[in-house]
């Protein structure tokens, strides 16, 4: 569909919905239907159910114009989450900007593991490389008795994370800027959790993630995605020093790429970590590793 092809008076919500779905197929693939609904819900300010029950309503001219503009942005390859300005993670509505990674569903696995494995009601937890604050805020909202420290080297990302915690009225997260362990001072934690950059610098998947015309629209920050020639530079730093910031028996939990588990296992063993466990995401791919600090 091309903007201006129809005037709004000729279209119902249902008709436009079908056209948007069709138009998004090239850029969104199987997610075209979901994305069409999210765009419509944003502009029409409707719930999912209302979108269906009021499908016969005609679109107003302003709504049509707004939707056409958003659709063009999406068709140019701009991520939907940046167009809408928010993304759901762990049932929390998080603000996202091009300064933050768009939180992924597979990262919810880290939240699940942390909640299941940390028994204390008063744990001290650090989320290193917090981005939008997704992991820290999800944990803080589930465990009001925990004290969370969320860090990032990006001040712009950290500002978004702080905004998210204020909007969601989560008061048990502290935010500090700095590279990996720099902001931690002499503190010791029960759990250090991180979804660090882990894509290899020359991985062809970057082109898919960033899109072919990456300069034409906002894309995810490369510093949130890539971790050196094998993708593991940041993991190496975290694995080599995290034990200095953990209480005895403290845990390190890392997200990683689907093919990185064997190498991470070697790195963890060489650095003296104990009880290394590996976890798969919903697609059955190796996605997270948990290790206990050595004595
Ligand atoms: C893959 S993103 C994860 C963001 C967020 N935790 C999530 O799961 O959606 C990695 C994050 O690490 C941050 N980062 C990259 N290098 C860093 C460093 N040296 N120190 C601290 N944070 C860093 C990036 O700015 C980015 O926010």
- Domain residue spans in the chain? 8-75, 86-292
3-state helix/strand/coil string of 38-81:
HHHHHHHCCCHHHHHHCCCCECCHHHHHHHHHHHHHHHCCCCHH
Q: Which two structure tokens, joined as six digits, stand for 183? A: 């902001």
Tell me what pLDDT residue 3 has.
44
Ligand 1 mutation pick, 94, 101, 136, max ligand atoms within 8 A of CB: 101
- Which pLDDT score, from 0 to 100, does residue 157 have? 98
- Closest atom, ligand 1, to C-alpha of 225: 1
8 A C-beta contact, residue 229 and residue 200:
yes
Sign of the torsion formed by the C-alpha atoms of 78, 80, 86 and 91: negative
Question: Within 10 Å of residue 39's Cβ, how many Cβ atoms?
Answer: 23
Q: 96 CA to middle of ligand 1, Å?
A: 14
Identical topology for domains 8-75 and 86-292? no
pLDDT for residue 209: 84
Determine which residue's CA is closest to atom 18 belonging to ligand 1.
Answer: 179
Provide the terminal-to-terminal Cα distance of the chain, rounded to the nearest Å. 63
pLDDT for residue 184: 97
* Residues ≥6 apart with Cβ < 8 Å to 26: 75
Residue 217 has what pLDDT?
Answer: 83
The rounded distance, in Å, linking the Cα atoms of 252 and 192 is: 5
Tens digit of pLDDT at every position of the chain (295 positions):
444 455 555 789 999 999 999 999 999 999 999 999 999 999 999 888 888 898 888 999 999 999 999 999 999 999 999 999 999 999 999 999 999 999 999 999 999 999 999 999 999 999 999 999 999 999 999 999 999 999 999 999 999 999 999 999 999 999 999 999 999 999 999 999 999 999 999 998 988 888 765 567 888 999 999 999 999 999 999 999 999 999 999 999 999 999 999 999 999 999 999 999 999 999 999 999 999 998 7
* Ligand 1: residue whose CA is nearest its atom 20: 179
Q: Which of 79, 224, 260 to mutate to test the pocket of ligand 1 (most atoms within 8 A of CB)?
A: 224
Contact assessment for residue 95 and residue 167, using Cβ atoms and an 8 Å cutoff: yes
Q: Whose CA is nearest to atom 9 of ligand 1?
A: 103
Strands (E), 153-260: 173-177, 189-194, 246-255
Domain 86-292 has CATH 3.40.50.150: yes
Residue 2, pLDDT score? 45
- How many Å separate Cα 190 from the centre of its chain? 23
- For residues 272 and 120, what is the distance between their CA atoms, to the nearest angstrom? 24
Q: Give residue 34 CA to ligand 1 midpoint distance, Å.
A: 27
Beta strands in the chain (DSSP E): 86-89, 92-95, 124-128, 147-152, 173-177, 189-194, 246-255, 274-280, 286-292
**CB-facing half-sphere around the CA of 276: CA atoms within 13 A:** 17
CATH class of 8-75: mainly alpha
Report the pLDDT value the prediction gives residue 4, as an integer from 0 to 100: 45
The whole-angstrom distance between residue 224's C-alpha and the CA centroid of its chain comes to 10
The pLDDT score that the predictor gives to residue 8 is 55
Prediction pTM value: 0.94
Q: DSSP 3-state assignment of 254?
A: strand
Q: Using CA positions, which residue lies closest to atom 11 of ligand 1?
A: 129
Tell me what pLDDT residue 68 has: 95
- Which residues does residue 152 pair with via DSSP β-bridges, in sequence order? 177
Q: Residues near ligand 1 with C-beta < 6 Å? A: 101, 103, 107, 128-132, 134-135, 151-154, 157, 179-180, 195-197, 223-224, 234
What pLDDT score was predicted for residue 48?
A: 86
């Amino acid at each position: 569909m091309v903007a201006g092809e129809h005037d709004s008076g000729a279209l119902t919500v249902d008709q436009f919905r079908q056209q948007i779905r069709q138009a998004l197929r090239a850029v969104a693939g199987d997610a075209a239907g979901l994305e069409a609904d999210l765009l419509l819900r944003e502009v029409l300010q409707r719930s999912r159910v209302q979108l269906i029950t009021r499908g016969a309503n005609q679109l107003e001219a302003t709504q049509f114009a707004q939707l056409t503009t958003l659709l063009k942005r999406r068709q140019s390859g701009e991520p939907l989450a940046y167009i809408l300005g928010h993304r759901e993670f762990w049932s929390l509505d998080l603000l996202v900007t091009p300064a933050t990674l768009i939180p992924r569903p597979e990262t919810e696995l880290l939240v699940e593991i942390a909640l299941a494995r940390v028994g204390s009601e008063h744990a001290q937890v650090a989320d290193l490389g917090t981005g939008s604050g997704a992991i820290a805020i999800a944990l803080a909202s589930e465990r009001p008795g925990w004290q969370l420290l969320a860090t990032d080297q990006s001040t712009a990302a950290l500002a978004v994370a702080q905004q998210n915690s204020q909007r969601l009225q989560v008061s048990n997260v502290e935010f500090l800027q700095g590279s990996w362990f720099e902001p931690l001072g002499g503190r010791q934690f029960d759990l250090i959790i991180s979804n660090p950059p882990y894509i290899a610098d020359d991985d062809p998947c970057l082109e898919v993630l960033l899109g072919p015309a990456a300069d034409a629209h906002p894309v995810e920050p490369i510093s949130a995605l890539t971790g050196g020639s094998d993708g593991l530079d940041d993991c190496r730093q975290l694995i080599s020093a995290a034990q200095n910031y953990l209480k005895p028996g403290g845990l390190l939990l890392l997200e990683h790429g689907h093919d990185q588990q064997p190498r991470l296992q070697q790195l963890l063993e060489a650095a003296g970590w104990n009880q290394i466990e590996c976890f798969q995401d919903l697609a059955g791919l190796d996605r997270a590793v948990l290790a206990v600090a050595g004595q």
